Amino acid sequence: MMDSSIATNNQGKYRKSGNNISEVVSMEQKRCWHDVFWLGLFVMQMIGLGFVLVILGLNRFKKKNRLDIDKYTYRFMENEAGLTEDYWPLYAVAGGVGTALGWSWLLLLGSRAIQMMKVSVHILTTYLAVISVLCFWAQQVFWGVAFAIGASLQFLYVLSVIDRLPFTMLVLQKAVKMVWNFPEVMRVAYAFIAVVLLWMALWSFGAAGVVASSMGDGGRWWLLVVLSVSLFWTGAVLCNTLHVIVSGTLVRVSINGGCEAASNPANSIMKSSQYAFTTSFGSICYGSLFTAAIRTLRWEIRAVRSKIGSNECLLCCVDFLFHLVETLVRFFNKYAYVQIAVYGKSFNRSARDAWELFQSTGVEAIVAYDCSGAVLLMGTILGGLITGTCSGVWAWIKWSDRAFMVGSTSMLMGMILVGVAMVVVESAVTSIYICYAEDPLLIQRWDPDFFNHISEMLHQRLQHRSSRAREVFTHNHLQDRIPENT
């Protein structure tokens, strides 16, 4: 087993300043505002979108074309218009199911969290395949193909990481333990779910007005896509704000000796909340635009890359995409939020510093091996699918031609509500890795057995990478010698 001094020596190689993480947190210097442009853009988007949602919903509320908007869309009139209150209850079902799933996840976090994550990993492929068959049965070819592709990608990804799941579940178990021993974090998570639900009540009011409008399917779909992109950004900002609060709190708790109630600083969660909603909020808005998409793309490319085999042409194309995504990850990664919470840096600087920290200490090898983020994303997608299915089935019974509009947007609502609950555990995972890279003794004081396990795994992954590098070097050297001998 790897000795703790090895990890400490690796960690000591990285120092951008003369202070370690404990000293920086204890000083609590005054912070500057960062990424203010993105903060202003997000606020304007929220105000503008809120106005548009109210207009779209009121135009069909209790009276058709109340605000006389149809005169601007007369070229797209193809369907019989309805009323906002016809479709708003369907979104209320989505909000209720998503909230119930999110709160249930938080309630079961301490006792059944690992079992729930295992179920989500293994059942998601089957659920996607069943929905694909139902879509083909309903003659919705596009959605059937989309869900079939999703099921195939999910199956390939699980096959590619099946050997990593034991270590991933160990890390998730320790993250759950860290969160469960700090009840203030749970209360903040419940409050965020309530805030997200309030915003979704307004968003679904406008979305119901779009579904009830007299525009044709093309116009309604495009308008719903625009609203969904805005909802995705808003949901990502709220989730990442919670991420910054939780990770900043857990880092402070780790510095003070662990998650035991007696050692917790009294104002840690208040300080993290203050920074998240003021000086760091612009950085959160900026990072929320790109981080989730790049992370998901990276997971899928890694899964495909590991299953290609000896197809040189395909391997070359995938390697190009892989290196491109790896470059983007240096500027957009979830570990930046922990740096934002602790140091108050801008997003891009936080992302680069976190990546350089992992590279210089070797922790990136174990971060790449761990797939806890993907496992939590599977749980989020499964929650969204369940939510979308509940609303979509009801819509199919009443209006079969608009069931997929309601179901797809309800699925996004469910993913955001369940994602708020999942982000609590993900924040704990990222805090563990940042603390281990900055100062391994923080993890050793908190859980010595887990420290020894993660140190041993890091040692194994570094040895594995060294052997792979030697194989590639030897292969390339032989390839160069063949033309010379010929």
Pick the range with the lowest mean pLDDT from 113-117, 187-191, 414-418: 113-117
Q: Is residue 333 part of a domain?
A: no
End-to-end CA distance of the chain: 48
When the pLDDT of each residue in the chain is averaged and rounded to a whole number, the result is 80
Give yes or no for residue 357 having a pLDDT over 80: yes
Q: Is residue 185 part of a domain?
A: yes
Q: Is residue 484 part of a domain?
A: no
Q: Is residue 249 part of a domain?
A: yes
Q: Is residue 364 part of a domain?
A: no
Q: pLDDT-derived band of residue 314, with 50, 70 and 90 as boundaries? A: low
CA angle in degrees (0–180, nearest 5) for 121-124-125:
105
Per-residue pLDDT, 197:
92
Per-residue pLDDT, 213:
79
Per-residue pLDDT tens over the stretch 369-379: 888 888 888 88
Give yes or no for residue 277 having a pLDDT over 60: yes
Q: Is residue 328 part of a domain?
A: no
The CA–CA distances, whole Å, from 184 to 122, 130, 142, 178, 253 equal 32, 39, 45, 12, 12
Per-residue pLDDT tens over the stretch 328-350: 767 778 888 888 888 888 888 88
More confident residue, 390 or 485: 390
Residue 206, both tokens: 């406008």
In 212-311, which residue ranges form alpha helices assigned H by DSSP? 217-255, 268-277, 281-288, 291-306
Q: Is residue 167 part of a domain?
A: yes
Q: Please give the residue range of the domain that contains residue 110.
A: 46-278+372-439
Per-residue pLDDT tens over the stretch 160-200: 888 888 898 899 988 988 888 888 888 899 999 999 999 99
pTM of the model: 0.83
Q: Which residues pair with 215 in a beta bridge?
A: 77
Total domain count for the chain? 1
Q: φ and ψ at 77, to 5 degrees?
A: -70, 115
Helix, coil or strand: residue 68: coil
Dist CA 263 CA 200 (whole Å): 38
Q: Is residue 3 part of a domain?
A: no
Pick the range with the lowest mean pLDDT from 53-62, 99-108, 214-223, 280-289: 214-223
Residue 276, both tokens: 């998240």
